[in-house]
Structure 1
């Protein structure tokens, strides 16, 4: 996985998916997180970013996804679990193949539990979602291709 320690910080290369169905967005978090984020994960060396998303969704949920177009790139600096991160993120549209319902469900990242939830796009502003641009961008129609940057945010608070 492309996650490199640099001094007292960590560089992270992350790929995530934007799945909107029936006006709801799929989000996930660990049970201890204080925020929701888009599902996905870290790229492996010599892995194309769209393949990363398909692999991560299969590993974490057991679901197959059709990866669509790249819509957002973000450069984020944040603190998570006491560690400073410099994250490069690629965000793709995705469709979950064979989805039969939009109930909340539990997935896994290795031995760790992940909680998945479909949240109404209109309700996103009432939830803590990271990166912060997600809620505002999803209120736009059509979605715009964008590059985002953000300074340090402490996700532990």
Structure 2
């Protein structure tokens, strides 16, 4: 996985999928997180970004996903679980093949549980979604391509907002 520890901080190369269906977007979080994010994960060395998204969805959910066009590139700096991160994120349109329903479901990230939920795109400002640009970007119809930079965010200090 492309995650490098440099001078007490971590650099991450992350790929995420944007699945929007019936006005809802698929987000996930761990039970202990106080924010939601798009599903995806870290790219492996010599792996194309679209392949990363498909692999991560298969590993985390058992579902087959197809990566479409790249929507956004994001540069994020944040503190998470006591670690400082510098993250480059690629965000792709994503279709989930043979989606059984839009009900909540559980997935896994290694040994950790992931909670998946389809959130109404119009309600994203009432929950904590990270990176912060997502609530505005996902509300645009049609979705607009772009490059986003986020200032330093302390995810450890963000208060819990119910889902």
Indicate whether the TM-score tops 0.5: yes
Q: Distance in 2 between matches of 1:63 and 1:116?
A: 12
Correspondences of 1:109-124 after superposition (within 5 Å) = 109-124=109-124
Partner of 1:70: 70
Q: Distance in 1 between matches of 2:60 and 2:139?
A: 27
Moved over 4 A (4+): none
Q: Distance in 1 between matches of 2:34 and 2:54?
A: 26
Shift of 1:62: 0.2
Say whether residues 1:91 and 2:73 are aligned partners: no
State the Cα RMSD in Å: 0.5
Q: Distance in 2 between matches of 1:44 and 1:148?
A: 23
Partner of 2:161: none
Correspondences of 1:6-155 after superposition (within 5 Å) = 6-155=6-155
Shift of 1:150: 1.2
Structure 1 segments unaligned to the other structure (5+ residues): none
Q: Secondary structure at the match of 2:131?
A: coil
Cα deviation digits, residues 51-92 of structure 1 (max 9, x gap): 000000000000001110000000000000010000000000
Q: How many residues end up aligned between the 2 structures? A: 157
Structure 2 segments unaligned to the other structure (5+ residues): 158-163
Q: Distance in 1 between matches of 2:139 and 2:107?
A: 27
